[in-house]
Amino acid sequence: MAMDKDLLMRMLMRMMRIRRFDETVKELVQQGELVGPAHCYIGEEAVAVGACVALRDDDYITGNHRSHGHPIAKGGDIRKAMAEILGKSTGYCKGKGGSMHLADFSIGILGESGIVASALPVAVGAALGSKMKGRDRVVVSFFGDGASNQGACHEAMNLASIWKLPVIFLCENNQYAVTTPFSDVVAVENISDRAAAYNMPGILVDGQDAMAVYEATAEAVSRGREGSGPTLIEARTYRYEDHSEGLVRILREPYRTDEEVEYWKGRDPIDIHSKMLVEQGVATEDEIESVRAEIAADVEAALQFARESPYPEPEDLLVDLYADPIPIN
């Protein structure tokens, strides 16, 4: 599939932005500046970016607890994201949502959720609304291999297929539900095989290859827009960090080998995309390093913005919580 340089470079920039953003989040946790759960997306960047560049700004996405990569891939503001993670009033949810709850309706980011598989029915509802209003918006719902075993996941896929809704169910199979290998708890060889039960296409792609994810998503988007219904895409990927930062301190024994981790680091999505850009003459190595430096500066500026932003005021506790505000007396 022929693609222009601007799109290919945008994919590189967004993957690098996610990587540097989450490296910074990891550092904040290790330094004790960020308290609470943080689920890094490092190693999985090609999935969110490959999918989101196939969408329009007014298309929707929903995500999960590993929530920083999806909004950044959709074009979200890293300053607002960093501020939200640090609990500041300039954040996406005014500092009240935190790491697992980033949303920006203006560019179709309907939000993330720490409740496993809970965003899948939300995606179906958004797709139903799009269809009922005669719009051609599609929805991509990101979920993991662990969520693929939840009842809400199967209910959502079944209903989307019955009503031929424009949903792309995108399973980011990083192969572990916290510490449980997906092969121990999934009866089929590939999660994408389950699509047959719901009479929708099931596609298995290399989740380390942004181009492969893009092409699969673009086809599914076209199918959704024309009214042909949902698609299940399984992107086989890998997270380089633990399920959440700090998990290693409480584990009784390792759940994966160093050799396995190193194998997947040898298939780094940013490296794969960068190599392709150089080989096809799209960009030089110097241009790629220039992008890396620019991204590092942007993330540092976002961190500075977040640090300098104020915390929410106590009187704002119930603001935005209810449709009808409740006064605090």
pLDDT digits 0-9 by tens, 114-172: 899 999 999 999 999 999 999 999 999 999 999 999 999 999 999 999 999 999 999 99
pLDDT digits 0-9 by tens, 254-296: 899 999 999 999 999 999 999 999 999 999 999 999 999 999 9
Instruction: Tell me if 321 is assigned to some domain.
Output: no
What pLDDT does residue 326 have? 66
Instruction: Tell me if 323 is assigned to some domain.
Output: no
pTM of the model: 0.94
Give percent helix, percent strand, percent coil of the chain, each to the nearest 5.
50, 10, 40
What pLDDT does residue 329 have? 56
Instruction: Tell me if 17 is assigned to some domain.
Output: yes
Measure Cα distances from 254 to 55, 257, 267 in Å: 38, 7, 22
What pLDDT does residue 278 have? 97
Instruction: Tell me if 329 is assigned to some domain.
Output: no
Angle, helix 269-279 to helix 210-225, in steps of 10 degrees: 90
DSSP annotation of 211? H
pLDDT digits 0-9 by tens, 45-71: 999 999 999 999 999 999 999 989 999
Instruction: Tell me if 293 is assigned to some domain.
Output: yes
Instruction: Tell me if 123 is assigned to some domain.
Output: yes
Enter the tokens of residue 12.
Answer: 């590189």
Domain containing 208: what range? 5-309
Instruction: Tell me if 320 is assigned to some domain.
Output: no
Q: Which residues contact 101 (CB under 8 A, 6 or more apart)?
A: 67, 84, 92, 93, 111, 112, 113, 114
Instruction: Tell me if 319 is assigned to some domain.
Output: no
pLDDT digits 0-9 by tens, 286-328: 999 999 999 999 999 999 999 999 999 998 888 888 887 766 6
Measure Cα distances from 255 to 176, 252, 260, 320 in Å: 9, 9, 11, 41
CATH of the domain at 149: 3.40.50.970
**Structural domains of the chain, count:** 1
Give the span between the Cα atoms of 219 and 10, in whole angstroms: 20
Arithmetic mean of pLDDT, 18-42:
93
Give the span between the Cα atoms of 228 and 329, in whole angstroms: 54
